[in-house]
Amino acid sequence: MHGLIKEYNLNGQFRWISSQTNRARNGELYRYVADTRGAFVQPALYEAFGLTVVEAMTCGLPTFATCHGGPAEIIEHGEDPSYWKTFADGGLKRIYERYTWDIYSTRLMTLAGVYGFWKYVSKLERLETRRYLEMFYILKFRDLVSKYEFKTVPRASDDPH
């Protein structure tokens, strides 16, 4: 490697990244390198599977690796995966057109208003609420109320509305 660095005057043009065991940090490193328009080079002469190659390519890094072992089956020589950028750009455009917080919150407020109006007009949940309160009355407050003049409490089924 050092001979190649001298031959092609690459001193200071790349960084060695030591082995990482934290998968979250790996993803961040790959994204950082991709965002700074870097590339990933797998310097091993033979790699059995090439998980780092798959991880780097998943993060969008241009990837160079050995033609022996797993990477030879993963990387197709001469194939430019930049056509995926058109899919990614289309997907991002669709997300920004349909799924932003502004769009979502506006829709949520509209639906909440419709639900609130419908609940008021149709007396939705009133019977259930009265049954719930009646349950509390029977379980907790009936004995307390019986000490006073009030002997009956309207039942949920007696709803005048």
Give 31-39 contacts, CB < 8 A, sequence gap 24+.
31/59, 31/60, 33/59, 33/61, 34/59, 34/60, 34/61, 39/63, 39/64
**pLDDT of res. 157:** 61
Its pTM stands at 0.43
Question: Domain boundary at 84, 116, 149, which?
Answer: 84
DSSP code of residue 150: -
Cβ atoms of 75 and 63 closer than 8 Å: yes
If asked whether residues 31 and 79 sit together in one domain, one would say yes
79 and 6 within one domain: yes
Q: Which CATH number belongs to the domain containing residue 70 in this structure?
A: 3.40.50.2000
Interval 108-152: pLDDT, tens: 888 888 877 777 777 666 777 788 888 877 887 777 767 766 556
pLDDT digits (tens, 9 = 90+) for 54-102: 888 888 788 888 888 888 888 877 666 666 677 678 878 888 888 888 8
